[in-house]
Chains A and B, each alone.
Chain A
């Protein structure tokens, strides 16, 4: 049992997506359409999440708009009392679909962009016409008076465009900009050599964000998701394992973090078999790294143990082969130097071809 209350539900409604971003956080093995949960099951999941105390639902994917029942799902989440946040590429969002979603109770839209120059942006997303569709989607969101967040995933190919990206967010009327450096999970690991920026470029970007936050105060809120490979201390991944967020995958597995499915030796419970409350409170997976008891040194006894919770389990596993060890993003981890060296080598690799995300890829 746990006294903890989740804040948010990340509902990965589908893995289908017309785009092919090489940094997509979805797993390499994507779930096919016929495995997806149906409307009824998602409705129950939303209700369960709300009774557990969750306040936000992030309707995500893949591209959530490919679900034919997206308006119905939005409405179900809204009726359950959740703050509904649509996380979309913008492709498929037009005046008509937005009006429908708004009537269903949509509270907020987050549109991801690949850059400012349409041709280059489309090349990264591996989708022609994407940039144009996004521009149009952002316009209708603002016209409808809905709140807009722009999410820009930053990597070596666009890090120097950050000033233009910030300008674009203001010009498009966004209230919030997420400057999200690539997190190396899923497809991003496969593309790390082509995505990793140089450390100096990251430092310049960090300074730019800091300055823009000041000059745009009251106009644009900027959230900065920094790249772990250049950090000194890790992030509290998802606010700590099993503390704030529940991820439900398209086929119904409940995970403490969206990359957790990559960890070996876990049986993740499925919402088709057990209630969300039961999973949150008693499932082995949610309890495994919850709190501080599992921690090895140097986390054990560290004064940041209850701040960053030892960082990301999936990153620890990806780099060291052991999920139950300190996140190598932490400078106190014995593997930290190795991580830095990997990043430096990747940044200098000169590789500029991508393995684009696709089902069956």
Chain B
């Protein structure tokens, strides 16, 4: 299985907004993130791999690492399709 080190695509910013919560901002687009997505995206630094992020979040939230890994992979796929993230 591939284990990429995702990062935000060029021109994409993670911002906190008073009215909308945490959002991803790109050219002509905006995506509001829920709490889980927000916690995951904050880890996308282009250095750490999905497996490492899953392990870290599993520890932090006291959850099953495989479940978290599935969450991360699903989100990664979605955000890559939409052009917010590069795997």
Q: List residues of chain A with CB under 8 Å of any chain B CB.
A: 5, 7-8, 53, 55-56, 83, 85, 107-108, 110, 145-149, 175-176, 217-218, 221, 223
| Complex interface: chain A residues within 8 A of B20 (CB) | 53, 55
| Complex interface: chain B residues within 8 A of A145 (CB) | 10
- Given A83-B13, A108-B11, A176:B30 Cβ within 8 A: no
Q: Are B11 and A147 in contact (CB under 8 A)?
A: yes
| Complex interface: chain A residues within 8 A of B83 (CB) | 175-176, 218, 221
Q: Are A218 and B10 in contact (CB under 8 A)?
A: no
- Which of A53, A146, A148, A221 lies at the interface centre, i.e. has the most chain B CB atoms within 10 A of its CB? A221
Give the shortest distance, in Å, between B86 (CB) and chain A (any CB).
8
The interface bits of chain B over 11-41 (1 if a CB of A lies within 8 angstroms of the residue's CB, else 0) are 1110101111001011110100000000000
Q: Are A147 and B12 in contact (CB under 8 A)?
A: yes
Query: Secondary structure of the A side of the interface?
Result: strand
Given A8-B28, A218-B83, output 13 extra A-B contacts at Cβ < 8 Å: A53-B18, A53-B20, A55-B20, A55-B23, A85-B28, A110-B27, A145-B10, A146-B11, A147-B9, A147-B26, A176-B83, A217-B80, A221-B82
Q: Are A149 and B27 in contact (CB under 8 A)?
A: yes
Q: Are B25 and A55 in contact (CB under 8 A)?
A: yes
Q: Are B23 and A175 in contact (CB under 8 A)?
A: no
Interface size on B, residues (CB 8 A): 22
Measured in the bound complex, the distance between the Cα atoms of B30 and A85 in whole Å is 13
A-B contact count (CB 8 A): 56
Could you list some 5 contacts between A and B, CB below 8 A? A83-B13, A107-B13, A175-B10, A175-B83, A176-B83
Query: Secondary structure of the B side of the interface?
Result: loop
B81 at the interface (CB under 8 A from A): yes
| Complex interface: chain A residues within 8 A of B86 (CB) | 218
Q: Are B17 and A218 in contact (CB under 8 A)?
A: no
Measured in the bound complex, the distance between the Cα atoms of B81 and A217 in whole Å is 6
Q: Are B10 and A146 in contact (CB under 8 A)?
A: yes
| Complex interface: chain A residues within 8 A of B9 (CB) | 147, 175
Nearest-neighbor residue (CB-CB) of B18 within chain A: A53
The interface bits of chain B over 42-79 (1 if a CB of A lies within 8 angstroms of the residue's CB, else 0) are 00000000000000000000000000000000000000
- Given A7-B30, A147-B11, A53:B19 Cβ within 8 A: yes
- Given A147-B27, A223-B28, A175:B11 Cβ within 8 A: yes
Nearest-neighbor residue (CB-CB) of B25 within chain A: A83
Measured in the bound complex, the distance between the Cα atoms of B2 and A241 in whole Å is 46
Give the shortest distance, in Å, between A159 (CB) and chain B (any CB).
23
| Complex interface: chain B residues within 8 A of A148 (CB) | 10-11
